[in-house]
Structure 1
Amino acid sequence: MKIAGLTWWRNNYGSVLQAYALQRVMNEFENIDYEILNQYSGKVASVDNFYHKIKTFGIRKTIHRIVWKFGTKKLRDRNRALQKFVDEELKISDKRYKVNYIDSANGCYDGFICGSDQIWNPELASLDSIYWLTFVKTGKLKIAYAPSIGIDQVTKEQRKMIRDNLNTFNAVSCREESGRNLISSIMGTEDCETVLDPTLLAERSVWDHICPPRRFTEKYIFVYLLRGTKQQRKLIELYAGFINLKIVTMPFLDNEHINKYDRKFGDIKYWDASPSDFISVIRHAEAVFTDSFHCMIFSCLYHRKFYLFPKIGAHQMNRLTDLQNMLHISPRMLEDNATVRDILSMKAIDWNIVDDIIREKRMKSKSYLKKALGMA
């Protein structure tokens, strides 16, 4: 059975790695031929992609994004490292499916899976986008695997659109419990299941296989802030000085919210990390500070002591707090008035409990996929 996946699979480490993870898991199943549907142009830096971005975001924001990605050699190096991983590790459809003729994909595949990432967030993609599989013809398999809806409330009109979309699915799931509750209330049933993000669904051996050796010989703490504030970075500097460790950081990760303090922050600025390097630098860190969902996941997989900074907006916070609650991890959030003493006094994580929960939920999530594919 030939299955196509619809997701975000470039531009940042989390998106690329979750796409890779679902690809690996899907291709473990017998008689399943899975590939990721190509909704993008072949390369990030292309004329076709440039015009698409202008149409989607407008000229001003598009120019801003281009400067962020390609404005300096270091940013270009990061982009090349991401592209190289995509080219070598992801199985992308040879044919590109633009929105206006994506329905032609029905002739090539037996079914479609949408997910993971925030592809269902109405603030990031419209409710009639391809990520709701609205183009799929009757009789084709339609499965949602761990998409994130990313919001807590919907309007009456949004509720109707979401319900109409999901009534055509063979199987519906969500990544966060808060999202599952919202979708269940919209559908009026309990058919929506909570499943693991693909990066947790894949066995740790998958990540061990692509994880390169330790990059930095001296001990360090790793800081991965998509946004973050000057105040948060100064707290990390105080902590690093107190325990006498270097800071490894990846500057300017979110093009919409570049923090100028990043220019001076960190002892080692790791600009050109590939997705594999991203895993490695987490794996070998003494501690991790982050506001990233996927950085938190890999910290858990590799038993790294980690600390969280709040996201802006309750629905953005849900991704972090839902995962924390699911894994029975005591609160790791550092608020604005946090001190080094607060960091040092934070309760240690029981990794045996975390591992047991991941194993149990991994089995349930794979069972969900197998059932949805008609294999159970």
Structure 2
Amino acid sequence: MSIKRKKKIKDFQHNYLNLTIECNKETIDDLVKDFDAIVVGSDQVWGPAFHGTKVYFLGNMPSFHGKKISYAPCCAYNKVNENDKSCLSHLLQQFDSISVRNSETQTFVRDLINVDVPIVQDPIFLYDFEKEKNSFVVPYKKFILTYLIGEEINGGNENAIEEIKIVYGDIPVIAITLSTPETLKYFSWADQVYWNLSPFEWLSLIHSCTFLYTDSFHGMAFALKYQKPFIAFYSEEKRKSRFLDFMNRFDLSNVIVNSVSDIIRNNSVVNNVNYQKVNNLLEKELIKSTEFLNRSFFE
């Protein structure tokens, strides 16, 4: 991560997040003992990488007596070491309210405590970002945006972009990367590459783009939020479940793919998202999500 991007993220945290003092698993108990509630989530905080520490399952907090709530955590993929199962099961049973972000995590919880918990929407759908979505001056009126964080799609990203251009014309391509300038050689097909954006600059580009091509869950989620035509792909097994869950819940089988061949076969660029249907489904899901939060805090 570049120094400039680190500074932008620190500035974002300072300006928009009400942070406690820094803590670790040894000191967190003293910090939270007077809290009324702790909410865990969202994203991959219940993934295998965090099973050993137990922090995101609210272990190591014997002095905390408030409400324990999970909102939209994700396990990435349902895999638990046998040595961790008993402890994780015990910790999950101490929660007052549990919700999860997708069906994979729902199964993860069911396997551990034999309870079916509700699926709620990612927190990005709970806030409109009205003031923040135009915080970046975009250099083009129309452009294809790529936000790529994993391995290439089967068939190559450049070929996928060419399929988009067949429909949208030879408009500029902007690439967002989390890497450094040294990786620019991998984006030779882009007219502009950004690697040091703030969160709201990133948001603005998605809000302004003509078409989004991404392998990011949150890239896909913000495309839905702003009703953008998009193609999302997964090339790694461990990231697959999040995409398939969205595909099944919002009928996105045409635009969530695994290869360039899928894009061609599905005619994904033309047969894109039915936003009337998606918006109706999202509206119902958001009602359930806010009802879960209200019950969790106030009942």
1:196 to 121, 128, 131: 121
Q: Give the CA RMSD over aligned residues.
A: 2.4
- Hey, what does 2:149 align to over in structure 1? 226
- Hey, what does 2:71 align to over in structure 1? 145
- Hey, what does 1:211 align to over in structure 2? 133
TM-score, normalised by the number of residues in structure 2:
0.88
Shift of 1:299: 0.3
2:9 to 64, 82, 98: 82
- Hey, what does 1:131 align to over in structure 2? 56
Name the SS for the 2:29 alignment partner: helix
1:159 to 85, 90, 102: 85
TM-score, normalised by the number of residues in structure 1:
0.71
1:295 counterpart = 2:295: no
Shift of 1:352: 1.5
Q: Distance in 2 between matches of 1:336 and 1:371?
A: 42
1:25-82 per-residue CA deviation (whole Å, 9 max, x = no partner) reads xxxxxxxxxxxxxxxxxxxxxxxxxxxxxxxxxxxxxxxxxxxx2xxxxx22222222
Q: Distance in 2 between matches of 1:241 and 1:111?
A: 49
% of aligned pairs identical? 20
| Amino acid corresponding to residue 194 of structure 1 in structure 2 | I
Mapped contact 2:78–2:108 kept (Cα < 8 A): yes
Q: Distance in 1 between matches of 2:81 and 2:255?
A: 33
- Hey, what does 1:369 align to over in structure 2? 293
Shift of 1:92: 0.8
Q: Distance in 2 between matches of 1:187 and 1:99?
A: 24
Matches within 5 A, 1:57-96: 69=1, 75-93=2-20, 95-96=21-22
Q: Distance in 2 between matches of 1:218 and 1:111?
A: 45
Q: Distance in 1 between matches of 2:51 and 2:114?
A: 22
Mapped contact 1:228–1:259 kept (Cα < 8 A): no
- Hey, what does 1:107 align to over in structure 2? 33
Name the SS for the 1:278 alignment partner: helix
Structure 2, unpaired ranges of 5+: none
Mapped contact 1:228–1:309 kept (Cα < 8 A): no
Q: Distance in 1 between matches of 2:126 and 2:171?
A: 33
| Amino acid corresponding to residue 289 of structure 2 in structure 1 | S
Q: Which range is displaced more, 326-335 or 354-363?
A: 326-335
Mapped contact 2:252–2:273 kept (Cα < 8 A): yes
Shift of 1:222: 0.2
Name the SS for the 1:193 alignment partner: coil
Q: Distance in 1 between matches of 2:32 and 2:13?
A: 24
1:227-284 per-residue CA deviation (whole Å, 9 max, x = no partner) reads 2328522214423553211100023x268xx967425241011233211111111111
Shift of 1:179: 1.1
| Amino acid corresponding to residue 65 of structure 2 in structure 1 | G
Structure 1, unpaired ranges of 5+: 1-68, 70-74
Mapped contact 2:150–2:215 kept (Cα < 8 A): yes
Name the SS for the 1:96 alignment partner: coil
| Amino acid corresponding to residue 321 of structure 1 in structure 2 | L
Shift of 1:174: 1.0
Q: Distance in 2 between matches of 1:355 and 1:240?
A: 24
Aligned residue pair count: 292
Matches within 5 A, 1:241-252: 241-242=165-166, 243-251=169-177
Name the SS for the 1:99 alignment partner: coil
Q: Distance in 2 between matches of 1:372 and 1:128?
A: 25
Shift of 1:345: 5.7
